[in-house]
Amino acid sequence: MAYTQAQLDSIREAYARGILEAVLPDGSKVRYRSLAEMAQIISEISTSITTPTATNVIYPTYKRGY
């Protein structure tokens, strides 16, 4: 699933307040079992947002010598 920065901000705000129920920007409600579960989901969303989708690979080229 593609997450947005607004969703991450909403969940972080609820986590900071200690609230286990969050209303996402699209209007849907989510209830978490614990703050530990929220922390895990925040970590997953952060990783998916900040992880680059493509990687750059540079292959060395040699013209002479070893």
- Mind listing the pLDDT tens digit for each residue in 7-41? 889 889 989 999 898 777 788 888 999 999 999 99
- Residue 65 belongs to some domain of the structure: no
- Report the pLDDT value the prediction gives residue 25, as an integer from 0 to 100: 74
pLDDT at position 1 over 80? no
Q: Check if the beta carbon of residue 46 is closer than 8 Å to that of residue 8.
A: yes
- More confident: 40 or 58: 40
- Residue 61 belongs to some domain of the structure: no
Torsional sign, CA 25, 47, 51, 9 = positive
Please tell me whether the overall predicted TM-score, pTM, comes out greater than 0.85 for this model.
Answer: no
pLDDT at position 2 over 90? no
Number of domains in the chain: 1
Domain that holds residue 30: 5-50
- Report the pLDDT value the prediction gives residue 27, as an integer from 0 to 100: 84
